[in-house]
Structure 1
């Protein structure tokens, strides 16, 4: 039995020898029990059948051919059999809630299948394959120093490479007139409508101190600093988020205005303005980065509301940034949200609304299109009742 806290290992047989290496999965997937060696000779249909059966494919061929095979597997996740025959017609959901759960189930199954194509790493983040890219910098940014060999899914590796490019290029934030550079595992502020709400909503009188609960990339703290708030205390529990926010704040030259603290929700004390952008959907995340989107049982939302009264100065405001997508999916009714507000001894002082403009809100083929098309993002101004 493997000791608690010990690294997980993946085991396989190659050239008649038993081998093993450390297993790495950001999504927390366990190491596959069955592993086959695969190379450039493997047929995509055979690879797809093995992946669906739970057999992982440890790649020993050309790296770029592995990428092409992954693309072929992705095309097959919506089809079955040779010749591209379509799978059975999907179940028609009876409600928006059922549509959401079926969509998440399909996403999870697809992720498991595509995660079966594996890439080996040697110590120092070297990939021992032909035409493999140099990913040392990207891996060091995401994982820290790499001193041992390990195995990772190609899909996760490509996500890491993509995140590295996002980090280099940054995301343009019109409210700042600057770019924010998201780190690997930290949610990117690509949906700028909620940032604009924070930039445009009138500040409470005398708001020279603000708390930013769940800082993430630090974008909302930066917006408040640019608006003239003299001191912002930003909190987060995630080490990657804290590192990311620290980097962005330094890039923007806002170190003297913004203080970063590792804390679960609130720092000590009270402020005339407390801002929080919690995950919007009460569901279980399936990977580390999904914690920014999915909040099981609305834990962070309820924690923010329950503790806000004790951290507001008299006449202060709590700004809750929240989409109503969960309401349109039948996951959290508006009455429940308002009930939590009242139970916390709070009242609604006002609300600023904006319609999302992201591409999926316009995509009629999206399984959740009806809910996305009706979605509204709001900044709720809350005060002590």
Structure 2
């Protein structure tokens, strides 16, 4: 799946008044949280109730107290949000006829929660160090996620939402540990970098591991939207001689390169920054696009949401012209969008037909993640019915 379009960062300068002086710091413009309009200094004397009121009124809090107390404040705000009445719970848990409205309400609630919990800001210096009392040294995780801090307009610090800081640290730990992928062999692991979607849902890998590779695709296969490189690795493990993988994201390409090197597969893989297809033709072209139509609100969202189904439709429209005779395109796609009423099966089949393609076969598998059983999940009705499929496509005869 595609991730962010670039690993480079952009910053703007923020200024605010506090303690009878003007303060300034850099703000990452690629942050999932919009640039704050009002900034206010806050410390350990601020109660959770007062903080909640300030944030709801549109202020972001620049924390100057104990670091662990900032984390406790964020947890207190989270509990407050959980206790708030869930107005759409009944509707979202009802039969699928309430979709897509219930889904849009769910995303709206998620965005509101993210905005509120991202309003506690931590100031870091030019080496990503935090000078707050009891602050851990997470500079390595920050540098890994965001690169070097630029020198800009004399600002010596960067403001980062505490929630994003914790996310960068979590990604750093996940990257070190990796995710074990049984389909790749014993003790084989994939290490996802910050902003690149981790293959924690492994059922689609089982489909790729079992599907018969066409004779035309055994020499060279293409992996469109390489992400972590897990599909490229799996194709190579299955005996494909060479894989050419593309992605728009520099971050994803670097992640895939690292994983293929760890697995000893670098010599048989070529990575290329491209929007969908490279030049030429292949006997097997695999694509696992984002599964839901919608606008992404963060880096990781870009692996889940495909605005206007751009990547899905682009893959289908360009596939025929890039297939060798006897070649196949493998489209890996969940039908969750259909159950959420965001896309119909008829639309998907029409796009396939209009692209001059035919369906040779389809292999299905049920998801195994915990949310399938979670009846408190507002999207449970759709998740419980979800099926992930590998569509085997070919040029119409």
Q: Same fold (TM over 0.5)?
A: yes
Q: What is the match of residue 78 of structure 2?
A: 74
Matched, 1:151 2:159: yes
Q: What is the match of residue 195 of structure 1?
A: 205
Deviations 1:317-349 (A, max 9, x none): 000000000000000000000000000000000
Q: What is the match of residue 4 of structure 2?
A: none
Matched, 1:281 2:292: yes
Q: What is the match of residue 92 of structure 1?
A: 91
Q: What is the match of residue 50 of structure 1?
A: 54
TM-fit CA distance, 1:226: 0.4
TM-fit CA distance, 1:221: 0.1
Deviations 1:149-178 (A, max 9, x none): 210100011011000000000000000120
Which structure 2 residues correspond to residues 334-349 of structure 1 after superposition, within 5 A? Answer: 334-349=345-360
TM-fit CA distance, 1:7: 2.9
Q: What is the match of residue 245 of structure 1?
A: 256
TM-fit CA distance, 1:267: 0.8
Unaligned segments of structure 1, at least 5 residues: 81-85
How far apart are the structure 2 equivalents of 1:50 and 1:25? 23
How far apart are the structure 2 equivalents of 1:233 and 1:89? 46
Matched, 1:367 2:378: yes
Which structure 2 residues correspond to residues 324-339 of structure 1 after superposition, within 5 A? Answer: 324-339=335-350
Which structure 2 residues correspond to residues 174-253 of structure 1 after superposition, within 5 A? Answer: 174-177=182-185, 178-206=188-216, 207-253=218-264
Q: What is the match of residue 20 of structure 1?
A: 24
Q: What is the match of residue 136 of structure 2?
A: 133
TM-fit CA distance, 1:42: 1.1
How far apart are the structure 2 equivalents of 1:33 and 1:296? 28
TM-fit CA distance, 1:24: 1.9
Q: What is the match of residue 31 of structure 1?
A: 35
Contact 1:25 1:153 survives alignment (8 Å): no
How far apart are the structure 1 equivalents of 2:125 and 2:71? 19
TM-fit CA distance, 1:301: 0.1
Deviations 1:25-65 (A, max 9, x none): 54443321111111111111111111111111110111111
How far apart are the structure 2 equivalents of 1:137 and 1:196? 35
Matched, 1:122 2:162: no
Contact 1:320 1:382 survives alignment (8 Å): yes
TM-fit CA distance, 1:77: 1.6
How far apart are the structure 2 equivalents of 1:102 and 1:282? 15
Q: How many residues matched? A: 376
Contact 2:10 2:29 survives alignment (8 Å): no
How far apart are the structure 2 equivalents of 1:369 and 1:335? 23
Which SS does the other structure have where 2:164 is aligned?
Answer: helix
Task: Summarize the Cα distance change of 1:332–1:87 in structure 2 as closer, same or farther, 3 Å threshold.
Answer: closer
Runs of 4+ that moved beyond 4 A? 86-91
Tell me the TM-score normalised to structure 2 length: 0.92
RMSD of the TM alignment (CA)? 1.5
Q: What is the match of residue 173 of structure 2?
A: 165
How far apart are the structure 2 equivalents of 1:6 and 1:163? 21
Alignment equivalent of 1:9, drawn from 10, 13, 34: 13
Alignment equivalent of 2:332, drawn from 321, 329, 332: 321
Q: What is the match of residue 101 of structure 1?
A: 104
